[in-house]
Amino acid sequence: MRVAMYYSNNDIRLENMATPHSCPEEILVKVEASGICGSDVMEWYRIHKVPLVLGHEIAGTIVEIGNKVTKYNVGDRVSVSHHVPCNNCHYCLNKHHTVCETLRSTNFYPGGFSEYIQIPAINVDRGVYLLPDQVSFDEGTFIEPLACVIRGQQIANIKPHHTVLVIGSGIAGLLHIHLAKAMGVNRIIATDISDYRLEAALNLGADFAFSAQENIPSYIRQVNDGYLADIILLCTGAVSAINQAFQSIERGGTILFFAPTAKDVTIPLSINDTFWRTEITLTTSYAGNRADHIEALNMIASKRVNVSKMITHRLPLSDTQKGFQLVIDAQDSIKVIIEPQK
């Protein structure tokens, strides 16, 4: 089978490798669509593991099942979680499934930027989602990223009466905006350095969109009755954006660090100025659990969250390098999907 083998952000090669087969409790999925995630282009995070096949936002068709698989059939249209938890450890029992050690060690093989992937037994047991007829393969690739967004907003404890500021209107920020609008949030403000993405933010539910290079705290006060933001969803790891978040949060507010920074970035904080007497909460979220994936699938199927509006590029497997460059450039693209069968 063909795979897009990752050596670096600027070196992704179309190569051949043996097609895997399913063992008794496994399934083999023909990948029809695989989204490029912002984490895929975090070169520092994976460069020590190369060469490898990336891609974890996948949808496809089951083409082979092991003789002990009873829940699924050949021909089923599915999306699959690459990471799944054990459900029994200290973290899982405390509802922190996404920091489970098992979740951090599980994956499918070899990766979504390939024609076929082998799904291990544990993923078959707790990480496969049947796609309804009304959900396309392209839309199915959004189940995993939307699940991450759902979990993030739950952790941030967003309520309809809140004013929410989304810093960074790439695909993660736009999913946050679109979900917040679907959940009835009162006022959504978006920022970015790209006019293209600010326009997308307005189209997907933002009430206001401002250039991140402007005086954002002043702009927020102008459109928010003199107050700063109740909730900030930080969807970029830029240090300037982090500083902007601290300047834009209202007393009693919450900042969710949704995006990672570059390697080794640290931010000095003044306890007195940042926390003392302000009751500001800083929190993070990572990945999504099975319940989040199911909720994401239901939202996509009902079109409550219309993810198809976010797809800007569909490329064949041979153009995976081009797709990565589009995501890295972060200009006139939102969601880039690779179609491995083309």
DSSP string of 59-81, one letter each residue: EEEEEEE-TT--S--TT-EEEE-
Please list the pLDDT of the chain residue by residue as tens digits (342 residues). Answer: 999 999 999 999 999 999 999 999 999 999 999 999 999 999 999 999 999 999 999 999 999 999 999 999 999 999 999 999 999 999 999 999 999 999 999 999 999 999 999 999 999 999 999 999 999 999 999 999 999 999 999 999 999 999 999 999 999 999 999 999 999 999 999 999 999 999 999 999 999 999 999 999 999 999 999 999 999 999 999 999 999 999 999 999 999 999 999 999 998 888 888 888 899 999 999 999 999 999 999 999 999 999 999 999 999 999 999 999 999 999 899 999 999 999
Own/partner pairs, 270-275, CB within 8 angstroms, 24+ separation: 274/246
Domain with CATH 3.40.50.720 in the chain: 149-284
Which residue in 315, 299, 324 sits closest to 140, CA to CA?
A: 299
**How many beta carbons lie within 10 A of that of residue 141, not counting itself?**
30
Which pLDDT belongs to residue 248? 98
For residue 320, the model assigns a pLDDT of 98
8, 28, 103, 251 from 69: Cα distances, Å: 37, 11, 21, 53
Q: Where are the beta strands (DSSP E) in the chain?
A: 2-8, 11-16, 27-35, 57-65, 77-80, 116-119, 128-130, 163-167, 187-192, 208-211, 229-234, 249-257, 281-284, 311-316, 335-339
- Provide the pLDDT for residue 275: 82
Instruction: Give the Cα separation of 239 and 267 in Å (integer).
Output: 8
Q: Please provide the CATH number assigned to the domain covering 149-284.
A: 3.40.50.720
- Residue 132 is classified by DSSP as P
Residue 214: how many other CB atoms lie within 10 Å: 10
**pLDDT number for residue 249:** 98
Element (H, E) at 300: helix 290-301
Q: Any idea which residue has 């539910």 for tokens?
A: 205
Give the Cα separation of 189 and 164 in Å (integer): 6
The amino acid sitting at 309 is K
- Domain covering 2-131+306-339: architecture: Alpha-Beta Complex (3.90)
Say if residues 188 and 180 touch (Cβ distance below 8 Å): yes
Letter string b/e over residues 243-268, b meaning 16 or more CB atoms within 10 A of that residue's CB = ebbbebbbeebbbbbbbbbeeeeeee
Q: What is the rounded distance in angstroms from the CA atom of residue 137 to the CA atom of residue 187? A: 32
Q: Which of 288, 156, 306 is nearest to 233 (CA)?
A: 156
Stated as kind and residue range, the H or E segment containing 51 is none
CATH 3.90.180.10 residue window(s) in the chain? 2-131+306-339
pLDDT at 276: 86
